[in-house]
Structure 1
Amino acid sequence: MVTQAPAAPTTDRYTRVSSPVDDLILTGDGTTLTGCYFTGTGHDHDPTEGLLRDDGAFAGATGQLEEYFAGERTEFDLPLGPSGTEFQLRVWQQLRAIPYGTTCTYGDVAREIGATNGFRAVGLANGRNPISIIVPCHRVIGADGSLTGYGGGMDRKRFLLDLEAGTLPFG
């Protein structure tokens, strides 16, 4: 008889959170948030694969997201642990410095991190941001002021920018 060793226990967890932009999937170890993903994007990546569902582990993140969508929170105060290259981590850190209700361009982000001509690389890093909304990649727009691609979809990007501009009703 062949027996299989039991799977190693996982410390990585996830939950689903309702939001005005569809359900969000939060991932992490229960303390540090490693992902905030949109559902229904059509992407092949399943951020919950191999993770244990634990709805109680993300109470802080869930509460702060609820406050954000209610127009009561303009900054997130959560331990974050995104996984990426050194360049991506620099870009994502700079995204967190973009003030609520404002936008900047990919070129602006590139200049701020010392990669003057790296606006295309910034765009790629922006698109791979694993912690949507909380690391506000939606605040980055094209050099001509137009809304450019967004992994969560352009409707969601517009909604988030309108929310932050105060042009949505709260309730």
Structure 2
Amino acid sequence: MVSSLSLSTELTYVRLRGLMPFFTEASKRYGIPLILLLAIASRESRMGLALSADGTGDHGNGIGIMQIDRRYHPSFTDRHSPFDHQANIDYGAQYLAKLLQQFNGNTARAVAAYNAGPNKVRTATYAGLPPDSVTTGRDYSRDVLQRKQLISQVLGLSKAVGLSAYLLPLGAMAFLTYNYINPQKL
């Protein structure tokens, strides 16, 4: 389970990189809750922090922040760089909207299908198994929905106290970076 501090760091990274508008635009365009998109990005790539230097994850199969899988979405991944964050977030939101429609608004099944594919989730549910039984770690949708709840709390705190919810992790990163770049000699 991810911590509030970890999510706060991820959200700070997204804001510092200027990616939040991409999430907001995709959320509005496809009618997906913003915090759900952020929760998937958190699980997939720690909102970009866990990507390899080439912008990939999952042994090179997942592309970008939303980890669009090149094996199942070649029409997208062949045309877009892993560093085209706007296109990656937009495609992830579009795909999630399609899954929500396929699963009649059932968020847990749609989120599980984002990870495992709709056919695997349908097969599992027809067999009376939970959707997560076919996902990575067998906890994908449960974890994403927990992250969604935590992100909501973190963003709620940030609205109530301004930027102070982000200043501690940001300040700590700045302090550590400065001391790493400029070590003090005694």
Q: Normalization by structure 1: what TM-score? A: 0.26
Q: Which has the higher strand share?
A: 1
